[in-house]
Structure 1
Amino acid sequence: MPRLSLVVPVYKVQGYLPECLDSILGQSYTDFEIIAVDDCSPDGSGAILDQYAERDARIHVIHLTENVGLGRARNAGLEKARGDYILFLDSDDTLSDGALAAISERLEATGDPEILIYDYARTYWDGQIRRNQRADLLKEEGPDVFRLADRPQLLNLLQIVWNKAYRRDFIDRLGLTFPPGYYEDAPWTFCSLISAERMAVLDRVCVYYRQRREGGNILKTVSRKHFDVFDQYRRVFEFVDAREELAQWRTPLFRKMVDHYLTVLERPGRLPQNARAEFFRRASADYRARLPKDFQRPAGGRGHKYALLERNAYAAMASATAALKLRRSVKNRARTVLSRSKRSAMGVFYQSQLRLPIDENLAVFSAYWSRSVSCNPAAIDAELARLAPHIRRVWAIRPDAMDQVPEGVEAVPLGSREYWAAMARAKYLVNNVNFADAVVKREGQIHLQTHHGTPLKTMGLDQQKYPASTNMDFAKLLERCDRWDFSLSSNSFSTAVWERVYPCSYVSLETGYPRNDILVNASFEDVRRARAELGLAAGTKAFLYMPTHREYQPGFTPALDLARFAEELGPDVTLMLRGHYFYGNSPHIAELRRSGRIIDVSGHPRVEELYLAADALITDYSSAMFDYAVLDRPIIIYAPDWDIYSAVRGTYFNLLEEPPGAVATSQAELIRLLGSDEYSGPDAAERRAAFRRRFCEFDDGRAAERVVRRVFLGEESLLPFVPFAERSHAPTPDQALELVERA
């Protein structure tokens, strides 16, 4: 039997769950088990648990068939736990390094107390860590083991269960279980503390309590469910009333009850406005029913609120609250005036347009900072024209790129009056990056963030860990992301990353990438035409080379000697280069370009057509690999500087260990791979198949239709996915050539 059992209830935490589990499994102390309870989570959390359980036998997963809530999920885990001590950990929180060893050592040093209380710290999205404000209560002073009566001030700690280790036989003796509801920690915490004969403390931060910016804490949700607090304190006092020896705790618990009721009343974002009077009346009734004899109210303003509760004087309480809100409102109006003056740079025209009604049939599209008509927004635009032609579609384009807008596409120059009018009044705003800070998100507008790739390198808030890679203002970044209503994803891996690194209140849409639909649906003629437009002769093998940007390099340094590369591969191979400019002044490279052996496709408007034309992809760390994998064609990873790149920028997995195909770390090795056809052999195909299942799971050719139906047409249910084994993909160049020759 393990010494410690950690019960981890899980619900909609796919972005945080791996970090939670890693923090446990990475502990130096190993005599523990994890009872992870999937509370019928609708996201990928259950699958994550199963993956971890396959790798580590200490993890036991329970999948509930219906969502039962935090308390009952803990009960399910408690039934399966076998350890001497039970610890609870919420699945978006983490253990500090060495926490379990410190807990075990303290338990042994204090002779196995019934409860050990340890400390925690709050962690914030910007990297701040703040220790519990009442950490002073956990100082290891006086006897190592004590009763609550010896240190009653411990009742002033936050009413939580996950900062304590409970001896299993103590739990069984009391018959402790978690009730359903919002405030399930209160009965468990109070009843266990006042009942324990032997307690100890550990003056050490063992848990990092995540403060989720997007409002992951259900206690911060406006709802009548906060009335649950009355049932929880009823349970507490029933427990006390049934045990004469606990009568001394009625007065301290009464004070905790009243303070808790006042907190629910006073905190914004909890009670609906039309429920506040009813809540006050019920709180007042509990106050009078449980008022201890000779109770002394607190002094000052807090005592005044106690008196109002005792008299059931809601009108007086509401008046005092209104006066406080008025004072705050005056301050807020002053801030608003200042903010508007700062926004004057937007222009009076934009401000006037913001006051006009929203055009329900207008959509504005942008891609890559308004540089082109491309990527996911372009694919959504095309599908919107098919399914909802009544919606006018306008593209925001930089003035210097207006001449590159395809014929038939309505576009407005970025920054023009037409642009600001469209941005102010459009119902739908679609982008694969963020709109500028100056853009105001109006109530009633819908912002659709499509993204433009599956992340290998760290993104969003994760970049804070790699300061050498960015000078981003992360607070401003999150303000921009706060405008999102929907965030697209082509795989559950991306969904989990986006939800963690962009912690805002949007809806994740797992639809697949609209821009990849063509890679599934393209015909033989589409492939043939793509190659013909690039001037690729029949029988020519075309490699598409797409290197990514490296933050640690001040300028671009090609990782390939292109002239040597072309010579060694021979005359039947063409290299299509997409990315930075290369050796433009080299006469040898110029000659290779004239001969068609090297084609610079950096300015090609649609990368998807390059994918269709290429026999194989050569890349390093570009997200192109995730899209190209939809085609199920060979991918070669050329990573000569993996150690430097991964250290400077940070990555989400080791590409050398989980590649989509063959890997080369030197040019000589790359040339050998390509010359031997090893890059397209069975080993490479096996790695590609695993990569495709992981990262192309939603790309079945109907992504754009899913997006349009859900976002623009309001259909709640997404179209079902074509089973992975039954999906097709565009024909290869060889297959397209064979069809032409047969014809």
Structure 2
Amino acid sequence: MDNFDVSVIVPVYNCEEYIGTTLDSIINQDFKNFEVIVIDDGSTDRSLEIINEKLSKSLISHQIIHQENSGVSSARNAGISKATGKYLVFIDGDDYVTGNHLSELYNGKSDFSLVQFIKKDGDRLSTPYHFSREFMSCEDFIKKELNMEMPFTFCQLMYKTSIIKDNGIKFNPDLVYGEDIDFALRALIYGDEVTISNEATYYYLQHPQSAINTSEFRRFEVIEIFEGIADFYKSKGRDDLANLVITSRIPKAIFGNMNYFFYNGYDFDRVLNKMKELDLLTKLSRYEGDSKFKSKIRLFLLSPKIYYKTWKKLKNSID
């Protein structure tokens, strides 16, 4: 069996428009000792044909797994089970990376390492976040994420394979939205340190078919996911982190998704009724933290309709 430093896991479902670019970006890495594991999740377009064509012509060690359509979580789990590298990297089949992605991530020592990402929406590019330090404890990293003090997506991280496999960490196949942050926040609790690079090497494509754009009110399901993470942290004796989930991450997720629906033209009554159905107003009221954000929540809870009307007038100035 080859001893690879890194296993790159690429789930694919009907990505014929993007997967060629994705694989080219992986094949052309300046890092050499890695394998690529592509999981075709029952694509009905030309994705599998393109995958076979690209990888058969490359010198990169690779595995191609074909399965019946079971969802991205199942596909990633299949990739993890086949991975032989010391570290795991995840790249979605409609994203791409720069040629130094793996070399920026890999040092062979840290439990986790991080690069920055750029959201690409047509010709529009987001500004990557900049960290002021090169290392951070996993605990501090978790707290920073739970306080939403930084933009974060799970694909920024390189994960030590032994942490993932020894602790049985998997993506939850029942989740449509938020399975990635669930995976990352559970994995990070087992590590000591995150090595940080400020190089932006991951390009995260936004398009109408993205799960984040097609999940309707299922975006609110992330609240239940975070409640599960809080229970998980409690089971590990980390009541402090569990409390941070309840008093910071959940209220911010509720408020952020609510404003997402408003911004995208969803009917006010539909959004509010869904929030009441899920008891999100109570969960929103538990916020503890920044006084400015707390004031926004209080204004909304005092009169959701007035908040909404004010938001419509001033939406460019209200986060």
TM-score, normalised to structure 2, is: 0.84
Q: 1:230 maps to which residue?
A: 223
Q: 1:306 maps to which residue?
A: 297
Q: Distance in 1 between matches of 2:117 and 2:315?
A: 32
Please tell me whether residue 65 in structure 1 is matched to residue 68 in structure 2. yes
Q: Distance in 1 between matches of 2:36 and 2:295?
A: 47
Q: 1:541 maps to which residue?
A: none
Q: 1:323 aligns with which of 307, 310, 315?
A: 310
Q: 1:39 maps to which residue?
A: 41
Q: 1:2 maps to which residue?
A: 4
Please state how far the C-alpha of 1:31 moved relative to its aligned partner.
0.9
Match of 1:202, SS? strand
Q: Identity of counterpart residues, as a percentage?
A: 19
TM-score, normalised to structure 1, is: 0.38
Q: Distance in 2 between matches of 1:124 and 1:181?
A: 21
Structure 1: 4+ residue segments shifted above 4 A: 270-274, 326-329
Please tell me whether residue 125 in structure 1 is matched to residue 122 in structure 2. yes
Match of 1:216, SS? coil
Q: Structure 2: any 5+ residue segments left out of the alignment?
A: none
Alpha carbons 2:104, 2:115 under 8 Å: kept: no
Q: Distance in 2 between matches of 1:274 and 1:8?
A: 40
Please tell me whether residue 239 in structure 1 is matched to residue 246 in structure 2. no
Q: 2:258 maps to which residue?
A: 265
Q: 2:192 maps to which residue?
A: 197
Alpha carbons 2:171, 2:180 under 8 Å: kept: yes
Please state how far the C-alpha of 1:318 moved relative to its aligned partner.
2.9
| 1:648-669 Cα shifts (integer Å, max 9, x gaps) | xxxxxxxxxxxxxxxxxxxxxx
Map of 1:404-553 to 2, 5 A cutoff? none
Q: 2:241 maps to which residue?
A: 249
Match of 2:242, SS? helix
Match of 1:20, SS? helix
Alpha carbons 1:159, 1:185 under 8 Å: kept: no
Alpha-carbon distance change, 37 to 272 in structure 1, aligned in 2, over 3 angstroms? farther
Q: Distance in 2 between matches of 1:5 and 1:250?
A: 32
Q: 1:85 aligns with which of 84, 87, 91?
A: 87
Q: 1:709 maps to which residue?
A: none
Please tell me whether residue 54 in structure 1 is matched to residue 56 in structure 2. yes
Match of 1:201, SS? strand
Q: 1:164 maps to which residue?
A: 157
Alpha carbons 1:297, 1:303 under 8 Å: kept: yes
Q: Distance in 2 between matches of 1:303 and 1:322?
A: 19
Q: 2:24 maps to which residue?
A: 22
Q: Distance in 1 between matches of 2:215 and 2:28?
A: 37
Alpha carbons 1:221, 1:270 under 8 Å: kept: no
Q: Distance in 1 between matches of 2:34 and 2:55?
A: 14
Alpha carbons 2:230, 2:241 under 8 Å: kept: no
Q: Distance in 1 between matches of 2:315 and 2:231?
A: 41
Alpha-carbon distance change, 287 to 27 in structure 1, aligned in 2, over 3 angstroms? same
Alpha-carbon distance change, 297 to 129 in structure 1, aligned in 2, over 3 angstroms? closer
Match of 1:43, SS? coil
Please tell me whether residue 296 in structure 1 is matched to residue 288 in structure 2. yes
Q: Distance in 2 between matches of 1:270 and 1:326?
A: 13
Alpha-carbon distance change, 151 to 192 in structure 1, aligned in 2, over 3 angstroms? closer
Please state how far the C-alpha of 1:305 moved relative to its aligned partner.
3.8
How much is the aligned-residue C-alpha RMSD, in angstroms?
2.7
Alpha carbons 2:25, 2:99 under 8 Å: kept: yes
Q: Distance in 2 between matches of 1:13 and 1:270?
A: 28
Q: Structure 1: any 5+ residue segments left out of the alignment?
A: 330-743
Greater C-alpha Rg: 1
Alpha-carbon distance change, 323 to 203 in structure 1, aligned in 2, over 3 angstroms? closer
In structure 1, what residue type is equivalent to 2:212? L
| 1:561-582 Cα shifts (integer Å, max 9, x gaps) | xxxxxxxxxxxxxxxxxxxxxx
Higher relative contact order (CA 8 A, sep 6+): 2
Q: Distance in 2 between matches of 1:32 and 1:286?
A: 44
Q: Distance in 2 between matches of 1:266 and 1:157?
A: 19
Q: Distance in 1 between matches of 2:80 and 2:96?
A: 19
Q: Distance in 1 between matches of 2:169 and 2:217?
A: 26
Q: Distance in 2 between matches of 1:326 and 1:191?
A: 40
Alpha carbons 1:223, 1:270 under 8 Å: kept: no
Q: 2:140 aligns with which of 132, 139, 149?
A: 149
Q: 2:15 maps to which residue?
A: 13
Q: Distance in 1 between matches of 2:121 and 2:19?
A: 16
Alpha-carbon distance change, 194 to 307 in structure 1, aligned in 2, over 3 angstroms? farther
Please state how far the C-alpha of 1:320 moved relative to its aligned partner.
1.1
Q: 1:182 maps to which residue?
A: 177
| 1:409-463 Cα shifts (integer Å, max 9, x gaps) | xxxxxxxxxxxxxxxxxxxxxxxxxxxxxxxxxxxxxxxxxxxxxxxxxxxxxxx
Please state how far the C-alpha of 1:232 moved relative to its aligned partner.
1.1
Q: Distance in 1 between matches of 2:253 and 2:265?
A: 13
Alpha carbons 1:297, 1:306 under 8 Å: kept: no
